[in-house]
């Protein structure tokens, strides 16, 4: 505590010196730090007592405050739920402090991410911010962080020490950095390791390979060491480091050729044990340690210790950047010198003297623990390595949302037409090779995406896989589906891509109801050529699995190629003799069919062959690899192509169905010799020369017919919509341009209903729930009234109005139709379920009255067919004076129903009606079961 108090004295004294001259006011200091002192070195329980003691010393002992009083206020920047530093909370605390207490200075925050945002605020406010928790490289930027005073360690100095160490031992070629990064909280190991990474790479021009790890798959790290370098820096918890070293001891045949540095920022690994004495290691590796300074005058002095004897071998002076070696003690290298960072014939075998039986040049193993006072740098200029380590492509399974299985099954069944719903990802041929099942869709961040599951138990994130994922994320081209990300959470390993709602090219070609003119076909072909040409000139190189089901069409009828790249994800695990597997091989080039499982990355010329098969599909629309006069199974087709006997077995071409130029292109694309096939650059030029307009003119008659049919279909849809808004007879008059005259009807029956308690239910529900309830209810009602000779007039809120007997008169049947409809609606409402209140019973109240009305169309904009007359008011009164789940009707309606003789009625009595006086009314109970109705 004495050290911390002295540190606090220095800081507060510096604060007083920084205040404007002549300022005699008190000083307000806001201390912003996390609470968890077990997790964070610069936590409130550790730092605040030192500041308070420093304040007491300044005030009582030294008299440096000159009559001022320091008001110290402390705030927590820790999320109480997560128990970790919260950058958002730190910003809120800083802004609140600035608004309400107007501090003269800030102490903290003690974590990198909160400090980055608060530091920018402080610079903008021109207030000093003093912290020991600003180790990151980004805080060196004085333009961005002008007022930060860093009293703690700096990653730049740790990197400087690594530079001096490498220069001393002549390690000037290669190094490896391995760090734990769970992408949670303040990511201490991530920042710590990058101090060495950036300094070695930028200042020493050393090739530095970096890779993150979690608590699994340590074996990948050992492979990474073998391939990356011999000077290795490992940064992570001590337990994980020991596990890596145990595996290293078992897997590495020549551990003495490696120098392994363990980075430990506060020497925490030395508090309870010495890691090099671990009994699990059969042959303990020789160790030299680096300890923190005891003499602050040399800025940061580190001691290099050999083995467990703790002999002092050197000092490091952080000010002069020199290592001062001991004259009496030295590091006892097993072979008399340090290991080589780039041993001959290991990373480069260009030297002709390299051979398999060369002698080992050096056998040395060194383990180093940096117990320094430094943190590594803030992420900056990471370029490729940062993108690989960042894994921006990664999607958690919980972040994907799916529709209910019933909806999905309904929408994603087999053989859907284009007009119903397209494939979201491309067709997958079933075991029968005939029908298509469409890939699953889901929602990611509110957007509909295509999800393709990968049949693998787990994905090993090797450097090659990370590179593939990085380059996939970089692809941005109009004719390639956009790669959104991938989920590698077992067992839900899947690839997430852009969703194309129009289906795959195979779906469109096999849908006979779609008439494709040649202009549209050429447009599809050109889209494929553009996409493949871009793909072949990109890092990905080729497709490897091009077929018509992997060409999908978006909502704008732009064709896009999918299922490209990520060869490591797509390695086949299928049975070699299934019908579906051979059906998928119909597009595969003959030189690739000789493999039982051809390379998933494919070849450029193999893609050209696949394009030729797709051309034939588009030209003839008879499915893939159509051969006229032959009915062969996919297995038989594949075997004939694989045999390679002259004449080579190829699909049928027909110049009557397509141009001769297209035949020439197809023949060139599926040539037996890959060298004779054109590349997509030449195909693109060739397609530009085809006379599309001439072929389009040849199909002009069909095009006109198509457009006519399309117009008639749209006209029919518009008419159906009009008939739903207005009665059919009225709509026909309007279509003919006639004025609809108002008309009187001597006798009609009007139905009114509403929901009892709807107002209170609405008050207890959200607007969206109310709208959903009414939509569900009236959709159900609309389906029922289609079975009766009635016309739905309107719905207003929870009120539902129906009439029978107009505009087409039906004698006295209107009362029977309304009565039957009312009973059906009442029966249905008793079983109706409210989505957000499933245990509540919907209470419908119905009123019916019969009498004369006048009806006509009102308005020119959004015209409505309206009813007028006292009958409408009386029907409304019958409903409002009724009871829940009962049908209330007037004497006029009862007299008409009595003529039919099969409705069961009950006298209610004389009821006082507003504006009507007393009226005798009845309940409609149902239909008599012993009466035969004709």
Put simply, whether the predicted model's pTM sits higher than 0.85 gets the answer no
pLDDT value for 858: 79
Across residues 370-397, what is the average pLDDT? 60
For residue 374, name the pLDDT band (cuts at 50, 70, 90): very low
Residue ending a domain, choose from 690, 723, 755: 690
- Does a structural domain hold residue 718? no
For the segment 897-923, the average pLDDT, to the nearest whole number, is: 86
Q: Which residue has the tokens 């950095």?
A: 177
Instruction: Mean pLDDT check: name the lowest of 88-102, 329-343, 533-547.
Output: 329-343
Q: Are residues 382 and 403 in the same domain?
A: no
Tens digit of pLDDT for each residue in 605-647? 999 999 999 999 999 999 899 888 888 888 899 989 988 888 8
Percent of the chain with pLDDT over 70: 79
Let me know whether 475 and 522 are in one domain: yes
DSSP letter at 504 equals B
Q: Are residues 144 and 10 in the same domain?
A: yes
202 shares its domain with 83: no
Confidence of residue 272 (pLDDT cuts 50, 70, 90): low
The mean pLDDT value for 150-165 works out to: 83
Contact criterion met (CB below 8 Å) for 850 and 840:
no
Domain closes at, from 128, 150, 172? 150
Tell me the residue range of the domain where 12 lies.
2-150
| Interval 698-757: pLDDT, tens | 565 566 777 778 878 887 787 777 776 777 777 777 776 677 778 889 899 999 998 888
Q: 722 or 107, which is more confident?
A: 107
Say which residue the tokens 């404007």 belong to. 20
Q: What is the mean pLDDT of residues 96-120?
A: 89
Indicate if 141 and 197 belong to the same structural domain.
no
pLDDT per residue over 677-695, tens digit each? 999 989 988 888 775 544 5
Range in 383-397, 568-582, 812-826 with the lowest mean pLDDT: 568-582
pLDDT of residue 11: 52
pLDDT, tens digit (0-9, with 9 covering 90-100), for 108-119: 888 888 888 899
pLDDT band at residue 153 under the 50/70/90 scheme: confident
In a domain, 411, yes or no: yes
The CA radius of gyration of the chain, in Å to the nearest whole number, is: 41
Give SS3 for 552: strand
pLDDT value at residue 928: 78
Confidence of residue 270 (pLDDT cuts 50, 70, 90): low
- Whether residue 594 sits in one domain with residue 447: yes
Taking residue 507's Cβ as centre, other Cβ atoms within 10 Å add up to 25
Instruction: Look at residue 722 in the predicted model and tell me its pLDDT.
Output: 72
**pLDDT of 637:** 92
Residue 839 has pLDDT above 70, yes or no: yes
| pLDDT band, very low/low/confident/very high, at 417 (cuts 50, 70, 90) | very low
Does residue 697 form part of some domain?
no
Are 673 and 653 members of one domain?
A: yes
Whether residue 443 is predicted with pLDDT greater than 80 in this model: the reply is yes
Around Cβ 743, how many Cβ atoms within 10 Å? 13
Is 59 a member of any domain?
yes
Q: Are residues 106 and 160 in the same domain?
A: no
- pLDDT-based confidence at 24, cuts 50/70/90? low
Per-residue pLDDT band for 336 (boundaries 50, 70, 90) equals low
Q: Are residues 424 and 505 in the same domain?
A: yes
- Give the model's confidence band at 334: pLDDT under 50 very low, under 70 low, under 90 confident, else very high: low
351 in a structural domain: no
CATH number of 189's domain:
3.40.50.2300
**Range with lowest mean pLDDT among 61-75, 163-177, 689-703:** 689-703
The answer to whether residue 366 sits within a structural domain is yes
Last residue of a domain, one of 123, 150, 177: 150
**Structural domain includes residue 427:** yes
For the stretch 34-40, contacts whose Cβ atoms lie closer than 8 Å and that sit 24 or more positions apart, written own/partner, are 34/76, 34/77, 34/78, 34/84, 34/85, 34/109, 34/110, 34/111, 35/76, 35/78, 36/78, 36/83, 36/84, 39/83, 39/84, 40/85, 40/110, 40/111, 40/133, 40/186
Q: Are residues 116 and 170 in the same domain?
A: no
Model pLDDT for residues 647-688, shown as the tens digit of each residue? 889 998 888 888 888 999 999 999 999 999 999 989 988 888
Domain count, the chain: 4
* Separation of CA 577 from chain center: 36
- Same domain as 124, residue 204: no
Same domain, 286 and 165: yes
Is there a domain that residue 524 lies in?
yes
Which of 368, 429, 442 is CA-nearest to residue 402? 442
Give the confidence band of 419 by pLDDT, cuts at 50, 70, 90.
very low
Give the CATH number of the domain where residue 496 resides.
1.10.510.10
């Amino acid at each position: 505590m004495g050290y911390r108090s002295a540190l606090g004295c220095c800081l507060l004294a510096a604060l007083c010196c920084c205040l404007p001259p002549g300022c005699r006011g008190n000083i307000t200091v806001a201390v912003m730090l996390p609470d968890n002192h077990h997790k964070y070195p610069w936590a409130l329980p550790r730092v605040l007592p030192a500041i308070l003691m420093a304040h007491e010393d300044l005030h009582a002992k030294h008299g440096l405050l000159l009559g001022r009083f320091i008001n110290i206020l402390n705030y927590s920047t820790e999320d109480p739920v997560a128990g970790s530093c919260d950058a958002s909370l730190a910003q809120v605390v800083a802004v609140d402090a600035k608004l309400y207490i107007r501090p003269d200075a800030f102490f903290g925050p003690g974590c990198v991410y909160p400090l980055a945002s608060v530091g920018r605020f402080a610079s903008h406010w021109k207030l000093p911010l003093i912290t020991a928790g600003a180790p990151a490289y980004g805080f060196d930027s004085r333009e961005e962080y002008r007022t930060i005073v860093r009293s703690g360690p700096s990653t730049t100095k740790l990197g400087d020490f690594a530079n001096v160490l490498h220069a001393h031992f002549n390690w000037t070629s290669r190094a490896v950095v391995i760090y734990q990064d769970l992408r949670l909280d303040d990511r201490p190991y991530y920042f710590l390791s990058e101090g060495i990474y950036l300094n070695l790479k930028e200042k020493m021009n050393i090739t530095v390979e970096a890779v993150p790890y979690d608590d699994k798959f340590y074996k990948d790290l050992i492979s990474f060491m073998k391939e990356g370098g011999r000077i290795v820096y490992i940064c992570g918890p001590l337990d994980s480091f020991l596990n890596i070293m145990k595996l290293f001891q078992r897997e590495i045949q020549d551990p003495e050729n490696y120098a392994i540095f363990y980075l430990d920022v506060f020497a925490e690994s030395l508090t309870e044990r010495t890691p090099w004495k671990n009994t699990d290691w059969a042959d303990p590796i020789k160790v030299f340690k680096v300890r923190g300074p005891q003499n602050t005058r040399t800025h940061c002095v580190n001691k290099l210790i050999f083995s467990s004897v703790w002999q002092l071998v050197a000092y490091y002076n952080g000010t002069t950047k020199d290592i001062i070696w001991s004259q009496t003690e030295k590091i006892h290298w097993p072979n008399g010198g340090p290991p080589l960072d780039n041993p001959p014939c290991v990373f480069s075998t260009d030297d002709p003297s390299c051979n398999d039986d060369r002698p080992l040049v050096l056998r040395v193993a060194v383990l180093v623990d940096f117990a320094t006072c430094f943190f590594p740098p803030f992420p900056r200029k990471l370029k490729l390595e940062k993108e690989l380590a960042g894994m921006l492509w990664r999607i958690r399974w919980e972040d994907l949302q799916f529709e209910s299985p019933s909806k999905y099954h309904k929408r994603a069944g087999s053989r859907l037409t284009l007009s119903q719903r397209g494939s979201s990802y491309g067709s997958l041929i079933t075991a029968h090779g005939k029908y298509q099942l469409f890939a699953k869709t889901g929602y990611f961040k509110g957007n509909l995406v295509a999800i393709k599951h990968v049949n693998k138990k787990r994905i090993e994130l090797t450097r090659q896989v990370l590179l593939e994922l990085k380059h996939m994320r970089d692809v941005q081209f109009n004719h390639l589906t956009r790669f959104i990300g991938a989920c590698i959470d077992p067992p839900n390993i899947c690839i997430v891509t852009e969703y194309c709602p129009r289906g795959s090219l195979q779906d469109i070609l096999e849908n006979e109801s779609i008439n494709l003119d040649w202009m549209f076909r050429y447009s599809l072909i050109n889209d494929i050529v553009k996409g493949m040409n871009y793909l072949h000139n990109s890092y990905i190189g080729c497709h490897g699995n091009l077929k018509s089901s992997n060409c999908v069409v978006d909502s704008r009828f732009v064709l896009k190629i999918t299922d490209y790249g990520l060869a490591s994800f797509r390695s086949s695990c299928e049975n070699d003799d299934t019908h579906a597997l051979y059906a998928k091989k119909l597009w595969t080039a003959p030189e690739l069919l000789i493999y039982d499982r051809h390379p998933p990355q494919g070849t450029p010329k193999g893609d050209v062959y696949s394009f030729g098969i797709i051309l034939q599909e588009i030209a003839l629309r008879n499915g893939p690899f159509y051969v006229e006069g032959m009915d062969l199974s996919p297995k038989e087709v594949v075997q004939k192509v694989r045999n390679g006997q002259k004449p080579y077995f190829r699909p049928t071409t027909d110049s009557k169905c397509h141009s001769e130029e297209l035949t020439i292109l197809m023949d060139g694309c599926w040539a037996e010799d890959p060298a004779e096939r054109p590349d997509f650059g030449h195909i693109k030029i060739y397609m530009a020369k085809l006379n599309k307009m001439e072929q389009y003119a040849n199909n002009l008659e069909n095009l006109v017919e198509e457009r006519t049919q399309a117009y008639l279909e749209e006209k029919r849809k518009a008419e159906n919509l009009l008939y739903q808004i207005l009665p059919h007879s009225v709509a026909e008059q309007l279509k003919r341009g006639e004025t609809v005259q108002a008309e009187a009807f001597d006798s009609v029956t009007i139905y009114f209903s509403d929901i009892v308690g709807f107002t209170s239910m609405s008050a207890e529900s959200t607007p969206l729930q109310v709208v959903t309830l009414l939509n569900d209810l009236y959709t159900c009602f609309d389906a029922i009234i289609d079975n009766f000779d009635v016309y739905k007039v309107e719905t207003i809120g929870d009120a539902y109005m129906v009439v029978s007997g107009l505009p087409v008169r039906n004698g006295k049947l209107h009362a029977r139709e309304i009565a039957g409809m009312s009973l059906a609606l009442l029966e249905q409402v008793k079983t109706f379920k409210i989505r957000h209140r499933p245990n509540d019973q919907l209470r419908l109240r119905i009123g019916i009255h019969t009498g004369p009305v006048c009806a006509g169309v009102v308005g020119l904009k959004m015209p409505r067919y309206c009813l007028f007359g006292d009958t409408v008011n009386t029907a409304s009164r019958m409903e409002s004076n009724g009871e829940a789940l009962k049908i209330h009707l007037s004497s006029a309606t009862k007299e008409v129903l009595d003529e039919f003789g099969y409705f069961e009625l009950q006298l209610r009595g004389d009821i006082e009606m507003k504006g009507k006086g007393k009226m005798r009314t009845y309940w409609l109970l149902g239909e008599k079961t012993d009466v035969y109705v004709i």
